[in-house]
Amino acid sequence: MKILKTLAGAVALAGLMAGPALAADMTVGFSQIGSESGWRAAETTLTKEQAEKRGIDLKFADAQQKQENQIKAIRSFIAQGVDAILLAPVVATGWDQVLEEAKDAEIPVVLLDRQVDSSDDLYLTAVGSDLEHEGEVAGEWLVKEVGDKDCNIVELQGTTGSSPAIKRKAGFEKAISGHDNLKIVRSQTGDFTRTKGKEVMESFLKAENGGKNICALYAHNDDMAVGAIQAIKEAGLKPGSDILVVSIDAVPDIFLAMQNGEANATVELTPNMAGPAFDALDAYLKDGTKPEKFIQTESKLYTQSDDPKSIYEEKKNQGY
């Protein structure tokens, strides 16, 4: 494949290629973080479906949340001579070396749903949402919902060192800054999982007078919010009213919670990052078309007034 690419590149460069770009099947290595949340599992499902539909040979590696496993997988893809690599980077730092190796091997890398601190000449493009904006949307909803009432907020952060955890925190804090009646009183990572979200929420409730001091929960993803909702109920409080619940992803189960009045708002993140990624790779590998460095997906706010029942039904057919 690489010889074909070089030939195609050379001929295209000389402007001598008269016919259509060379079409050829792609072999793509996908280093996925793991399956920590319903959203992550849906992203994996949709990536495999997109590859199947496009006749792409997808080599899938699940890193079980460990960066070293992702780096190993990328090195294995390079050794196999894949045409491209998809990477959902578990954390934002520590990628320079392995991305240099991929670049030296002339294998384009596309980032999915999270970003890296490396220089952007080390990857072809990044497909994802504006993570800081998601945090702002969540914060702006709470500011409006609470008005001038005093509101102590507890925050369940995503995976420590991941770009969504860093940026969703920053965006939310930006939205509530200037509203002195809203205050984050406790903030800790729940690692994007339901189990940890429940565990950490239990500790918040204990530390805050059984939850009586808590007005709202901001969770960086719905899975942690769903776990926390369980903890709030077990503490004898009503999630969605005693404690407002706002989170991000818009997975089906958060709409179930909304139907029961147990969650209030979520910011949607599409799990179909692979579609735009494969489109960009197709254009690049066939005729060298360079995509923008960031292909942004949209972030839409949903609340209880958005008919959660029918959204739940729709979402169930979107890879979840």
Binding mask of the shown chain, residues 185 to 214, with x at each position contacting ligand GYE by CB under 6 A: -------x----------------------
For ligand GYE, the closer CB: 189 or 221:
221
Q: How many CB atoms lie within 10 A of CB 176?
A: 23
Tell which one of 44, 221, 264, 272 touches ligand GYE (CB under 6 A). Answer: 221
Quote the least distance from Cβ 113 to ligand GYE, whole Å.
4
The token duo for 11 is 């001929």
Among 83, 202, 249, 253, binds ligand GYE (CB under 6 A): 249
| Cβ atoms of residues 47 and 274 within 8 Å | yes
Q: Which stretch binds ligand GYE (CB under 6 A): 36-44, 75-83, 97-105, 254-262?
A: 36-44
Q: How far apart are the first and last CA of the chain?
A: 34
**What gap in Å lies between CA 279 and CA 293, rounded to an integer?**
14
**Backbone angle region of 261, left / alpha / beta, with phi > 0 → left and psi within -120 to 50 → alpha:** left
| Backbone φ and ψ of 280, nearest 5° | -65, -40
Using CB under 6 A as the binding rule, whether residue 315 contacts ligand GYE is answered as no
169 lies in the site for ligand GYE, by CB under 6 A: no
x/- mask, ligand GYE, residues 89-128, rule CB under 6 A, reads ------------------------xx--------------
What tokens does 50 get?
A: 């997109």
Quick one: 156 or 235, whose CB is closer to ligand GYE? 156
Closest CB to ligand GYE among residues 50, 247: 247
In terms of residues, how long is the chain? 320
DSSP state of 291: P
The token pair at 318 is 């979107």
Listed ranges 31-39, 98-106, 194-202, 257-265: which one lies at the site for ligand GYE (CB under 6 A) = 31-39
Phi, psi of 2 (to 5 degrees): -65, -40
CA–CA separation, 265 and 281 (whole Å): 35
**Interface characters, 147-166, with ligand GYE (x: CB under 6 A):** -----------------x--
Q: Should residue 253 be labelled a site residue for ligand GYE when binding is judged by CB under 6 A?
A: no
Sheet strand arrangement including 216-219 = 182-189, 151-157, 216-219, 244-249, 265-268, 301-303
Residue 37 is a binding residue for ligand GYE (CB under 6 A): yes
Query: Which residues are within 8 A (CB) of 291 and not within 5 positions of it... i.e. 6 or more apart?
Result: 124, 125, 280, 283, 284
Q: How many residues form the binding site for ligand GYE (CB under 6 A)?
A: 13
CB nearer to ligand GYE: pick between 36 and 83: 36
Q: Which residues bind ligand GYE (CB under 6 A)?
A: 36-37, 39-40, 113-114, 164, 192, 221, 223, 248-249, 269
